[in-house]
Amino acid sequence: MSFSVTLAQINSIIGNVNANTHMIQKSIQQAIKADSDLIVFPECALTGYPLYDLTQYPSLHDEIEAALKQIIPMSKQIAIVLGYPKKIGQDVYNCAGWFMNSAIITEYFKQSLVNHTCFDEVRVFKTGLKPSEIITYCNHRFALSICNDIWTPETPLTSEPVDYLINLSASPFHMGKRALRHTILKQARHQAQRILYVNAVGGQDGLVFDGGSQIVGPHDTLYYEAPYHHTDCTTVTLDNLQPIQPSTETLDDLQATLCLGLKDYLHKNHLNRVCLGLSGGIDSALVAAIAVDALGSEHVTGLWMPSPYSSTFSHDCVQALVEMLDIQCIHLPITPAFECIQSTLNKATSKLASQNLQARLRGLYLMQYSNTHAAMALACSNKSELAMGYSTLYGDLVGGIAPIADLTKTQVYTLSRYLNKNHLRIPEMILNRAPTAELAPHQFDTDDLPPYETLDPILEALLDPQHHNKLSTVHADQTLTQLIRNKLQTSEFKRKQIGVIIRTHPTSFNLDRRYPTTYHLPSA
């Protein structure tokens, strides 16, 4: 007798139990129509994930109980495995429930809570203390697990080997994660003949869950892989599966992550328009291209805000970009306001203050447009600039979200050139020009920073938790390395005040790297 399972890779909205319930019910109905025997949802699909301190709200748990009363009766026609927080007394557990015949058959509580990088599960969840019960269904034996349980080899997932180990997951994207997942799923398979892995999809603030649900079978072979960066509700007949080759992560996945993160952040906050300052440089050009891919050109507005030091070439670059992306561009010179303030202060400003004033006037204009037109402002800073403090508070750091703030300058160029291979998105004149803020005559980034090809490898090594091991492979000058380390430390206060950063690497600012604003470290 054949056995079919539906992997329901849904995009939950954190805290919106009602909307999530409708998504879950729709997926169940779709699975029933497909004659599926079992449907599996991601970790905390009913509430969205991560919840952080929302677990403390009594009303959330009231809504969860009400939703379960709507969902559980649907298990009369199909077995359902669903993730949700479970409150028992004063404790809250990260729970996977198996529903069948209109009843809860078993509830498993996550044992290996994540308390590193961007997660604080120990703060909000109680640790589960025992492995899953074994469920016999359709002549197969199943066990339940949740996300990090299979990433922790010492976690006992089942008292004895089973036919299917189900893993409900909310595992966010970062570069290199796909190959790592394939490895982890293979390592976990010793506890079951097959693993049914169902991952969440969608942007949740700075995290982007990329889907890619999988079925791994005998001989550590991949038998099914769901789409990445898209919702999916595919029913698979397990008896008929043939081995397949796992997909390979490319820069398309990086671009898809940035687009999904931006799109969901806008839509889940009930917005559909963005605005950004266009400088004629590579950073704002890439952010504009990401915004167009995520939202459509009709929802993106650029502001060209020249100062006395903006060149004709920059204007030409902006014009070429606007035409290429087919977006609206508004010309708002800051020169009159800049000269007025300089005159009011009797020019009693330093060179740095004069440069920062230009950036802050642009930030003011951008936020004024944002407020007037209900368009979220996008910050265009990259990771290299943020690390070195090469940015201006209340200036180029303004914005609700920073799409490329987890990409170094080198990675910005790499992704931009990659996008141009398939379809010209960014003018070559922008890609080929030397980076400049144009806040002073004949200014270039290298006036204040090492060349990015020198800076970025050192930064990546310093930002890695095992940087002492990685620094030795960079072969960097010790004096330069110490200078970069000092800049990284003293600019912490700026990074605390930037908008949401879309996480694309496991060393992202604010989510992964959480340092005090004021601190002292040994020099080595």
Q: What are phi and psi of 119, to 5 degrees?
A: -120, 150
DSSP string, 319-378: HHHHHHHT-EEEE---HHHHHHHHHHTTT---HHHHHHHHHHHHHHHHHHHHHHHT-EEB
DSSP tally for the chain: helices H, then strands E: 16, 20
CB neighbours of residue 90 within 10 Å: 6
Cα–Cα distance, 69 to 223 (Å, whole number): 34
Taking the chain, what is the end-to-end CA distance rounded to the nearest angstrom? 64
Cα–Cα distance, 356 to 452 (Å, whole number): 22
Residues labelled as active-site residues:
43, 110, 147
Is the link from the previous residue into 50 a cis peptide, with omega within 30 of 0? yes
Plot region of 256 (φ>0 → left; ψ -120 to 50 → alpha; else → beta) = alpha
CB neighbours of residue 250 within 10 Å: 11
Alpha-carbon distance values, 380 to 182, 298, 334, 384, 407 (Å):
33, 20, 19, 12, 11
Contact between residue 5 and residue 236 where contact means Cβ atoms under 8 Å apart: yes
Cα–Cα distance, 510 to 520 (Å, whole number): 18
From 498, 273, 463, select the one nearest 379 (Cα to Cα).
498
Cα–Cα distance, 34 to 235 (Å, whole number): 7
Cα–Cα distance, 246 to 178 (Å, whole number): 9
Handedness of CA 309, 413, 427, 291 (dihedral sign): negative
